Structure formats: C-alpha cells, structure tokens
Amino acid sequence: MILCCAVMVLGHGSARWALQCAALVACALAGALAPERVEPCAGSPLCSCRTAHMSCIAVPLHRFPEWPRIELQHLDISMSNLEVLTESALDGLRLQTLVLVANKLHYIEMHAFSSMAGTLASLDLGYNEFTEIPQQGLKDLKVLNWLNLQNNNIVYIGPEVKWHHLEDTLTSLSLSNNQLTHLKSQALTSLYHLLQLDMEGNHLRTISADSLPPSLTLLKLSNNFIHELSCDLLYSLPRLQSVHVRHNFISFSDTYVCPSNKSKRIEKLDLSNNKINDTSQLLLLRDVQIRQIILDLNELTSIPKLVYKNNRIERLSVSYNMLSSISRDLFLSLKNTLEHLEVEHNKLFYLPDSLAQVARLRHLSLAYNQLEESPSLPSRIQTLSLAGNFLTSIPSALQTLEPGSIRYLDLSYNRISNLLPNEFLDWSTSLGTINLRGNRIAQIYKNVFPATMPLKEINLSFNDLYYVHPQSFSNVTSSLHVLESSSTLFSGYFPFEIEEGLENLSWLSFDNNDFHILKLSDVVAFPYVKYLNLDYNRIVDIVISEDYHNVSLPLSNLRLAYNFLHSLHSRSFIYMPELRNLDLSYNRINNLTKHTFTNLPNLRYLSLAGNIIDSMEAETFANLPKLQILELQGNNFTYLSLNSFHNVSNIDVTFTLNVSRNRIKFVDGETAISVNIFDGSYNDLYEVPNNFFAAVESSIRQIILSHNKIIYVSSEAFGNSKYLEILDLHKNNINNIKRKSFTDLVSLQILDLSFNVISQLSVEQFYNLNKLRYLKLDHNNLRLLPRDVFKNTIVEHLDLSYNDMSLFPGTALSQIGFTLRYLDMSHNRIEYLDSNIFRGTQFLLCLNLGHNLLTVLSDNTFSSLGGLRQLDLSFNSIKANFKELFHNLPNLRHLNLANVSLKSVPYLPLTNLTNLNLTSNYINSFKETDVKRLVSLRHLDLSHNRLTSLVPKMWFHLNNLNILDLSSNPIVRITPNSFKWLSNLSHLNLNGLKYLDIIDQDSFRPLISLRSLHIQSWSTINHSTFSISNITSSLPALYKLVIHWTEETMENQLHGIDTRNIRYLEITGSNLKRISDDAFLPFADSQEIFIRITMTSLTKLPTAFMRHLGQVPQLGIDLSYNQLTTLNPAIFYPNFTSWSHVATKLLSGGLILTGNPLRCECELAWLGAWLRRWLQENEAGAELRRAVRSGTCKDPLGRRIPLQQLRADEAECYASALSSDAQPNYTDLVYALALALWTILLR
C-alpha cells in the first residue's frame, strides 16, 4: 500500500515524535481505514472522522479533544499524552468501542464511563501505565465483553479484585506483557463467562489449579517462566480447547506426574520453544486427547512415541529441532488422522516410505532439511513445501499424486537447473501456485507447463534465466495472473521474447534485472497487467513508437525507481488512464518539461524523489484531479514555480506537496492550487514565501519550513490560512516575529518555533490562536514572556527549555492555567521558586525544571500542584526537606533528582511513584526505611553514584522493581545477597563498574526474571578467572546481553554461556580491535540471534566470522558505527555452495552497516546487489528495512553514496586493492578472482 500521508520533517528527538505522527495521521487517509470517505473532524481537525467513528492516532493531546457533532460509536485516541481519565472527559458519549492505546494512562475516575455504561462492549487500554486493575473506573460498565490491559505494569491479580458487572459480561481479557508472577487460588474465577484469557509475557511461574474460571476455551501463557504444565490445571477447565505455553521452561522431567483422564480433549497445545528433549516424559500427551500438537524450537532429535501413540493427531509441527530421522511408526499410527505436518529446519536426509500411507495428509512442509530427493508422498496432498533442500529437478514423487489434488508447490532454494517438458503431468491439473525462486534455472523450454495446468502464480526470482522459449507459457494463457522474476533476466531486454501465454497477467514483477529500454509496445503484450515493478534495472529511456495510438494500458501501479532515466517524454504515461501510483524516485532525471504528467485522471501518488531535477516548465503537472501525494524531495531545485501546476488535485482531495531537501530559495507564480500539506524543509529559504501561501490559503492545513534560513516572520506571512493546523518553523534563524505574524491562523493547533534565535515575543503574540494546543519555543534566547502573550489560547503543551529566563513566568502562564498540562522550563537560569508561583497553573501534570540554578525549595513550593504526575528537578543544587516538599504531591509517578547533590536517598512519601532517577549524586548507601514507601516503584536509576556494596536491605521494599541501573558506581564486590528480593527485576545495568574485583558464585541466582543485562567484559576480576558464563548460567530467562568490551581482542570470553534463550547480543567499546574466528562458538546451535557490534575500533572482520553463525536460521548482524573500510563477501559465503543455497537469507535479520568509513571501491561492489536482493528476498519490518538501507560508502570525491545504489560497473576500481601497487601474490590473485565471480553472481 502506498503511504497516503506526507512525512513531516520536524527535527530529531522524541519531543518531535508526536508532532511528526500527528502530521502523518491528520492528512487524508484516502479510504485506507474504510471504503467511505474520511474527513477531518469538526472542532478537532487533527483527528479524522467518518460515520460514527473518530480517530486521533498520534495527535499530541494532553486533554480530550472537542467531540464532533455526530453520534459517535467508535473512538480511538492512541499514542497521545493522556494520563488520567476524568469523570467528565467522555461525558455524553455512548460508545460501543473505545481504544486508548499507548498513552500514559494510569488512573480512571469512578464514573468516567457512566454515559456509556449500557453500550461500551470493547475497551482497549493496552500500552499504558496502570499498576493495578482499574477496578473503580470499570465499575459502571454493564455490557463490556472485551478488555485489553496488555503492556502495562500490573503485578498482582487476586480474588480481592472487584470486577463488578464484568463478572457476568466479560468474555475476553488480555493481561499480556505485565509483571504478574503468580495466580493465586480463585484469582479470576469470578469472571464466570470468560472464554479467552491472554497472560503471555509475564513473570508467571506457577498457576493454581483453581485460579481460572471453568468457562475458558482459550488460554495463552507463552513467554513466562513456567516449569511445569499441570494436568490438574487442564482438568479443571472442562471447556478448554486451546493452550499456548510456548517459550517457557517446560521440560517434562522424570518427576512429572499426570493423572490419566482419557475423556479430556484439547484441540490445540503449543509447547514450542521450551526445554523438551529426548528424555522428556510427555505423559500429558499420553493421558489427554489432543488434535494439534506444536513442538517447534525444542531439542528433539526424534519425535517421541507418546506424541502419536495415544492421540488422534490432525496437526503436528516439530520444526526447528534437531530431527535426523522420523520413525515409520509415526506415519503408520497416524495414517488415518494426520492432515497437517511441519518438520521445517531440521536435519532430515530422508523420510520413511510409510509417509505415503498417511491417507488424510493434505499439508506437508519439509522445508530446509537435507533432502536430495522427495520422499514418497500421500496421493492427495494439497500443499507441499520442499524449499531449502538439495533437489536437482522437479521431484518424480509428484507423479504419484492423484490428479486434481495439489494446489500449492514450493520448490524454492534448491538446485533445480532445468524445467523440462513432461515434468508437469496429470498430477498438476489443480496446481495454481508454484514457487521456484532461488534455484539454478537457466532455461525454460517450450510447453513446459501443460494446457491442463491451471497455473495462476509462478515465482522465478533469483534464478539465472538466459533463455526463455517464446512459447514457454503458451499453454497457461487463460490462467496465469502473477509472474515474479526478480534478479533473474540478464538479456537487457524487457521482458523476454514471447509469442503467447502472458496475456492475462495482472501482476508482473521484473525488478533487479538488466533491462535498458522500456518500450510501451512491449507492455502492450500484457493487456490486463495492473501492477508492474521494474525497480532497480538499468532503464535509460521509455520509448513510444510514432504509430502508437488509440491504445489504453490498464496499469494502476507502475514502479520505475532506481533506474537510469535522464528525461521523460511528454507522452510517456498518457496511455495509462487507470494509473494510480507511479514511482520514478532515485533515477537521474534532470528536468521536467510541459505536460510530462498530464491527463491522468486516477493518479493518486507520484514520486520523483532523489533525482537531480533542477527545473520544471509550466504545466509540467496538468489535469491530475485526484493526486494526493507529489514527492519532489531530494532534488536540485533552486526555486519552485506554481505555474508548473495546472488543474492538480481539488478541494475534495487531501494533497501533499513535498519539496524538502532541495536548495529552494524562493517560490513564484500565481496559479491557484489546492495544497493541504506542504513540506519545504531543508531548503535555502531566507523568508516565508508569502505569495505561495496566499495562493493556497483556502486549503493549506500543514506547513513545514524547518531547517531553512528564515530570518524573520512578517505580518500576515501565511496569508489568511484559516484552516492551517500545524506550522513548523524550527531550525531556522528567526530573530524577529511580528505581532500579527499569526493573526489570521485561527485554526492553528501546533506551532513549532524552536531552535531559532528569538529574543522576545510581542504582547498578545498568539492572541487570535484560540485553538493553539501545542507550542514549542525551546532553544531560543527568550529572557521573559510578556504578560498577555498566551491570552485567548488553550495551550496544553508548552516547551520553553534552553532559553535565558531567570524568573519563572508565572503571570504569563496564568493565562493558560486552566488548560496547561505540560511545561518544560529546563535549561534556563531560574534561581527561585516560591509557594505562590504555581497557583495559576494548578492543573499541571508534567513539570520539568531541570538544569536551572535552583538552590532552596520551601516545603510548600508545590502545594498547588496536587495533580502533578511528572517532576524533573535534575541538575540543580537543591537544598530541601524532601519529605515535606513532596508531601503535597501524592499522585507523583515520575521523579528526576539526578545530580542534585544528594548524599543519601531521601525519604520520599510517594506511594504511587513508579520511576525514580537518582543518577549522578553522591549516594554511598541507603536503608530500607528510606524507600519503604516506594511500593509502586518500577524503574530506579542509581548510576554514577558512590555505592561500594549492595546489601539485601536496600531492595526489601522494592520487590516490584522492573528496571535497575547501577552502572558507574565504585562497587567492589558482588555477593549472593547483592540482589536478594529482586526476583521480579527484568533489566539490570552493571556497566562501568571499574573497581569491581570479585563476583561470588551464584551472585545472580536471585534474578530469576532477568531478561536484559548490561555488563563489561571483566576479564581481570576474580584474579582473572572470571567468565561471563558464570553469570549467564544463573539467568535462565536472559534474552538480551549487552557487553562493553574493555579488551583489544574478542576471543573465547563468550565460551560456555547458555545461548538457548539469548536473542540479542550487543558488543560495544572502542578498545575492541580484533575478533577471533571462534569468538561466537556458543551460538552455533542457536535458532535465532541478532548480533550488534557497534562503536568499536574494528577495521575488518575475520575471514571465518560466520564459521559458527552460518547455520543459525534467523540471523541478523548490525555492524554500525565501527571503522570498517571494506567488506569481503567471502566472510559471509566462504564457498559458492553456501551462496547458491541460502543467498541473502543467510542474514534474514538484516545486515546493517551505517556509520562506517566504507570506500566505494571494487571490493565493495558486490554489496549493492546483495542489499537490493535482500530487500526483495526477506520479509522485514519498516524499521529494519530503513536500517539496512541507511548504509553508505564514500567515493573519491568525498560524496556519501547509499550502498544499495552501488553497482559493479560504476564502482571506482582504479583505487582499489585490485590495482594497487602492492606486491602481487597468490592470495591477491585468488581474492581478485573470487571478487570477480561474486560480482557476476550478484550483478
């Protein structure tokens, strides 16, 4: 799906994240959410509305917005800043569904839902900050059946919890990713009608057999610390159908007992990623009838007999184990029941012939084993995967299949070299999809696919097709709709010679090939194609024949990004009236002529980003009435002319114009144009282009002019832009703002003036902005605020940090005292606060006074701020009676007292406090009485203090602590009692303990819930006998390990560690210069690991870097910010067999190279093709894809070139090692030959 919103360039840092997201969401959604039209909400235009629905996703709200005058039934306010749900917040609404995900909610007042007591059926409170079930807040709800409380900080659920009406109505409850440690007797039994319960990702170790309601049908307990799956628990739930307990510590040891209950039946049991091995006593599987059993990611070398001896199994999955064989008895026992079998990623060389007798088997996956030929198959198989094996031809075993049975066949990543006639015979008469990517197919012969084969989709990507017979597809003319052929064709012609067979194609992907010319006459051969992907070819021209008339192509999506186009003809796209999305980004287009894009009535998205365009003629864009997004960023424009647009978009379409990252100095032209979102950031504007905004004043809603050189903002600089909602002017040189600069912007809600040189504001500067909610004035030179500067506004969020204020602007702030919720006054020069100073801002929820000159605070300084939730006093030399000072802040949850000259932990009477930062003080110890009131504390930072020892009494009252930072303290010794009482701790930072001398054995054993640990390599402690494995052996739940390396060489320091649960390893430290070949030996048997090596002094990787990592199925490598200058492909693929078998899937988790001094030379040429193929070959999230794309190298002119654009024929070879003056030797010759071969393989 093409993104339908313009990305605002709003600078760096989390402070701008909400603004950026708000800009994305507030723009047109173009029907992505629903078929009906989505409009800005009346009264709250940053939110979007449609019939009965309102959505405010990532809008920076501290208070609930104004409700539209429609009958709302569904409301979504997610990723905002809401903290408390008050009784009046939702007054009058009769909602059916309410989503309040990813806010900062921690409290719901008693009658907040009273108006929807009889209507609200679904409530999502996930990703908030609740520390307990909001019992009183839920009290009024009488029909609620779905409740989500995942990813909060809830630690306890017991029979004392009052569910009120939910006892009779709730059917689905999610408590996943909280901090629950156990379920006591009767904990949830009062929820009489509960059907689905999700408690994944907690700290559960035991669950009482009588803790759950007998009504349950689905129970999710994955990713906990459960060691035993109690049969009694299962027997107590008579309606239970599905149990998920993956990623626990279940081993079914010799002591495991399970009373027999042959009448107990369960539909599905997921036991994957536990500690099950060949010695496990799987008595549960003997005594309970189970239809679907999943045993993936365990340690089995064979499938235990108890799995199948007493069960009528329909589905069995034993993938990602160490199976080397499967007993023929399994198939004989299950021949009349088994329908679905998965044994992917094992070590199977063959399967017994009894497999063919499993008459009901319909779905079989044998992917990524060691098979050289297919086993005998059941005759009625419907889907079959043999991907990632060593097949050399289409399996002959397929000939035994009944005609009309198989529909899907995956033979990708084998060694098939030919497709021959008579291979697809009667067995293929129902085959609709075949995947042949990643083989060695060089030729496709005539009539390979018979007329009886109803082939709809074929994937030929990543083969080496040098010849395709013109009649290869002639027999599948009527059926074939999808053809994918990425990185396959090297003839230079699009696509290949055909006579017939592709007429009905609707989806065609030919990216990453060697096409040079695109002839529209060739595209005509595909009269029904709607999607055509030609990215990453070498296309230099789009050719239209003179006799090309009266032809209409049905294309709706055309991708031509990353080609070599220098120019576009005025008729290039005129024959594509159905075109909706056109991507021409990252070519070499240098100018645009009149009517280059004209008469495209359905065009929605057009990207010309990343070219070298410096000019556009008049009416370049003409008659594009539905255009929603035009991307011109990253070109060489020095000016923008409105005359280039004629009849573009209209008032019924939300149009985004992005011209950021050019060199635009002025905008001219008088053509009226409807622009809703304008991004002109990162240009050379010295003044606001008044004429442009006057031309778009009737439609403009968002303006981004950040990162320019604007000096002043004149009166009425933005015209009468009465619908403007977001204005971003940060990172300019503004020193003067006229009093009437923003006078007519009556709809403005977000204004960013940060990072300028503003020294003063006018009286009533923002007077007319009666909808202004979010105002950033940080990083300026303000010394004071005029008295009425905020008069008539409703500012909720005000950032005045990094200015020169010496007096707290209490008078000015009193004008917005009723609405102000967030105030940042950090990094100023405020010296004094008195007890009256906050009386005008008593509704504040968040106050930051860090980095000022405060010294003395009286006991009643914050007496007016009883509702305050977050307070930052860091980096002030404060003297105060903290017990009395915070006595008036009973609701405080986040407190920052970093670097305030504390010598001990102050007594804090804050029972609701969840986050406490005490870093950079002089604390050398603290008593249990100092923290006894901090019963809700989850996050404690004691880094950079003077702690020399850790004793149990420190943690006695902090047993709910989740995150603890003790880094950079002079701790000398860690003992078995150092972490006593911290059984719920998940994250611990012990980096920078320079004086640590001894770690006693079993010191980390109390940390049974620890998932993340940050340490040093500590090679000198314990008289140089210390091993990191001494720590990890005591941490069974450890998932993430970060090590600051203090030695020059990484050799065997990681040897011996238990890596079965570790999924993330980070190595950092500037001392590290070399990695040995066997450094990662412990990870050889891992199933999944992401390794990040960053901020070191590494200049190269060892040749055998992948020796022990090459067999990890899910592997990602991050090498960002090191000193690498080149990268040899032989490091990752020591032989060509490994490349041909796994290709870029070797690093399915990505290869990240950002921030290295890589040189764009021949030695690196392979990497560009590799990255392009990785982006096509692997499924990855947007964040990982951005990281993989972010790597660059430096060419001889000092320019940074994106690695993914690097091509072998453009790399600078003369400066490389291949032609250096070094003395030639045999090694150099071998390296040169290998590199040349890699270049051919990856071109």
What is the per-residue pLDDT across 655-689, written as a single tens digit (0 to 9) for each? Answer: 999 999 999 999 987 778 899 999 999 999 999 99
Contact residues for 599 (Cβ-Cβ < 8 A; gap 6+): 574, 577, 622, 623
Spatial distance between the Cα atoms of 594 and 622, rounded to a whole number of angstroms: 9
> Going by DSSP bridges, is the β-strand pair 408-410/383-385 parallel, antiparallel, or unpaired?
parallel
Residue type, 510: F
> Which DSSP state fits 394?
S
For 327, the token pair is: 């007993």
Burial 1132-1146, CB ≥16 within 10 A → b, else e: bbbeeeebbbbbbbb
Spatial distance between the Cα atoms of 915 and 358, rounded to a whole number of angstroms: 58
Residue type, 715: S
Q: What pLDDT shows up at residue 1175?
A: 92
Residue ranges of alpha helices (H) inside 71-209 are 166-169
| Contact indicator for 430, 398 with CB cutoff of 8 Å | no
> Going by DSSP bridges, is the β-strand pair 656-658/629-631 parallel, antiparallel, or unpaired?
parallel
Q: Assess whether pLDDT exceeds 60 at residue 113.
A: yes
Q: What pLDDT shows up at residue 1210?
A: 63
DSSP string, 1174-1237: HHHHS---HHHHHHHHT-EEE-TTS-EEEGGG--TTTSB-TTSGGG-SSPP-HHHHHHHHHHHH
User: Cα 36 vs. chain centroid, distance in angstroms?
Assistant: 29
Q: What pLDDT shows up at residue 1136?
A: 65
Beta partners for 44?
41
| Tens of pLDDT, residues 491-542 | 777 777 776 667 889 999 999 998 999 988 888 888 899 999 999 999 999 9
Q: Assess whether pLDDT exceeds 70 at residue 339.
A: yes
For the chain, the farthest-separated pair of C-alpha atoms sits apart, in whole angstroms, at: 92
Mean pLDDT, residues 954-967 taken together: 93
Regarding predicted confidence, which is higher, 108 or 472? Answer: 108
Q: What pLDDT shows up at residue 14?
A: 41
Of 302, 274, 306, 277, which Cα lies nearest the Cα of 290?
A: 306
Strands, E assignment, 208-262:
218-220, 242-244
Query: Helix 1226-1242 crosses helix 1165-1177 at what angle (to 10 degrees)?
Result: 40
Q: Assess whether pLDDT exceeds 50 at residue 1217.
A: no
Q: Assess whether pLDDT exceeds 70 at residue 199.
A: yes
CATH of domain 1-20+604-718: 3.80.10.10
| Tens of pLDDT, residues 881-903 | 998 999 999 999 999 999 999 99
Spatial distance between the Cα atoms of 42 and 49, rounded to a whole number of angstroms: 8
For 688, the token pair is: 């606001």
Percentage of the chain modeled with pLDDT above 90: 73
Place of tokens 């040098």: 466
At 74, give phi and psi (nearest 5°).
-135, 125
| Tens of pLDDT, residues 74-89 | 999 999 999 999 999 9
Q: What pLDDT shows up at residue 1240?
A: 47
Beta partners for 677?
656, 702
Mean pLDDT, residues 1167-1187 taken together: 91
Of 314, 343, 344, which Cα lies nearest the Cα of 327?
A: 343
Regarding predicted confidence, which is higher, 1217 or 102? Answer: 102
1028's enclosing H/E stretch is helix 1028-1032
Q: What's the pLDDT band for 208 if we cut at 50, 70, 90?
A: confident
Q: What's the pLDDT band for 306 if we cut at 50, 70, 90?
A: confident
Q: What's the pLDDT band for 1141 if we cut at 50, 70, 90?
A: confident
Up-side HSE of residue 379: CA atoms within 13 Å toward CB? 6
Regarding predicted confidence, which is higher, 369 or 1024? Answer: 369
Mean pLDDT, residues 1116-1127 taken together: 96
Mean pLDDT, residues 242-248 taken together: 96
Residue type, 77: I
Query: Helix 1182-1189 crosses helix 1165-1177 at what angle (to 10 degrees)?
Result: 170
Q: What pLDDT shows up at residue 19?
A: 42
Q: What pLDDT shows up at residue 48?
A: 93
3-class secondary structure for 26-69? Answer: HCCCCCCCCCCCCEEECCEEEEEEECCEEECCCCCCCCCCCCCC
For 1231, the token pair is: 């390296």
| Contact indicator for 1167, 1203 with CB cutoff of 8 Å | yes
Q: What pLDDT shows up at residue 17?
A: 39
Mean pLDDT, residues 181-198 taken together: 94
Spatial distance between the Cα atoms of 471 and 1014, rounded to a whole number of angstroms: 62
Q: Assess whether pLDDT exceeds 70 at residue 36.
A: no
Percentage of the chain modeled with pLDDT above 70: 93
* Separation of first and last alpha carbons in the chain: 28
Spatial distance between the Cα atoms of 51 and 1096, rounded to a whole number of angstroms: 55
Q: Assess whether pLDDT exceeds 50 at residue 37.
A: yes
Q: What pLDDT shows up at residue 1137?
A: 64
Mean pLDDT, residues 1064-1088 taken together: 95
| Tens of pLDDT, residues 749-778 | 999 999 999 999 999 999 989 999 999 999
872's enclosing H/E stretch is strand 870-872
Angstrom distances, CA of residue 889 to CA of 682, 869, 895? 44, 8, 11
Mean pLDDT, residues 222-245 taken together: 92
Q: What pLDDT shows up at residue 28?
A: 36
Q: What's the pLDDT band for 27 if we cut at 50, 70, 90?
A: very low
Across all residues in the chain, what is the average pLDDT? 89
Q: What pLDDT shows up at residue 500?
A: 67
Residue type, 226: I
Q: What pLDDT shows up at residue 7?
A: 33
